Amino acid sequence: MLEDLIPKDFSQELLLEWAISIGMAILVFIIGRIVANIVVKIARHAMAKGGMDSLLINFVGSILKWVLMLFVIIASLEQLGVDTTSLVALLGAAGIAVGLALKDSLQNFASGVMLIVFRPFKEGDFIEAGGVMGVVEHIGIFTTNMKTPDNKEVIVPNGQVYSGAITNFSAKATRRVDMVFGIAYDADIRQAKNILVEIMQQDERVLPEPAPVVAVSELADSSVNFVVRPWVKAADFWGVMWDTTEKVKYAFDEAGIGIPFPQMELHMNKPESDDDAPEK
């Protein structure tokens, strides 16, 4: 009979072996989960102590937790006798496929991490990056939100921001205002220079150090050009530029100093009359 061919203790030994395997798998899973949570907690604490951004801490912490739990699950399956070699290969192939499909997103993520770690700018700074100029409102993992001077919100991918030059106008406390004013060639250069120097001296927003520069920079085609370069606080940049331009126009008008526009002299040869034509 078939029953006589099967050992009596076969079912008990099999059940006992399965019970031990399942118990070990559960034990490995529980202990692994506890260890993973401890490791994630330590990593979060270390990142927070290092001054890392909370958004990046949460994101990295979540990724670290899922990676550790993946190893815990694989170790638990091995206790059940499951061959995990093919599973690991499948996960690797799936990871490569997902990475290729999300290449742009991964680039934006990597750039976002670099922006948060190295801090070339912070929220509230006025910058020019990724072809956009505006105030930074939010730095995310994948995108950076900026508000333009005309109050438009622009969402720029971090890959576009980090791959190009970044100009941070708010990084320094002071800025130099570069202005050019032209006068006519028949105007008094000394008088014009004295007017420009006086305007700089009367403006309280102009910093005494470094001293403002007023100098003739170019003998242009239609004008003699002065460069005016005062140093001001970053917040006063536009105000000083606009006010100085207006004051210079009023002062030059009062002094009779002309501000020429581009001109071109055209010389025409008078055609010869019939009387002047040579005899044939």
**57-78 tens-digit pLDDT:** 776 777 788 788 888 888 887 7
137 and 211 in a single domain? The answer is no
Specify if 194 maps to a domain: yes
164 and 200 in a single domain? The answer is no
Question: Beta strand pairing status for 179-183 and 174-176?
Answer: unpaired
Q: Does the pTM exceed 0.75?
A: no
The pLDDT, as a whole number, for residue 97 is 64
**How does the average pLDDT of the chain come out, rounded?**
83
What single-letter DSSP state applies at residue 278? P
Could you report the per-residue pLDDT of 192-240, keeping only the tens digit for each?
999 999 999 999 999 999 999 999 999 998 899 999 999 999 989 999 9
Total count of domains within the chain:
3
Specify if 52 maps to a domain: yes
Which parts of the chain fold into alpha helices (H)?
2-5, 10-49, 54-79, 85-101, 103-118, 158-162, 189-202, 237-255
CATH of the domain at 186: 3.30.70.100
Spatial CB neighbours of 221, under 8 Å, sequence gap ≥ 6: 262, 263
Q: Are 245 and 180 in contact (CB under 8 A)?
A: no
Final residue of a domain: which of 168, 201, 225?
A: 168
Rounded to whole angstroms, the Cα distance separating 274 from 53 reads: 89
Specify if 180 maps to a domain: yes
Three-state DSSP state, 129: strand
Could you report the per-residue pLDDT of 146-186, keeping only the tens digit for each?
999 999 999 999 989 988 899 999 889 999 999 999 999 99
Domain hosting 45: range is 8-93
Specify if 269 maps to a domain: no
CATH of the domain at 64: 1.10.287.1260
Identity at 9, one-letter amino acid code: D
CATH of the domain at 153: 2.30.30.60
For the residues 242-258, what does the mean pLDDT come to? 95
State both tokens at 267: 């010389």
Specify if 69 maps to a domain: yes
What pairs with residue 256 in β-bridges?
none
The pLDDT, as a whole number, for residue 63 is 75
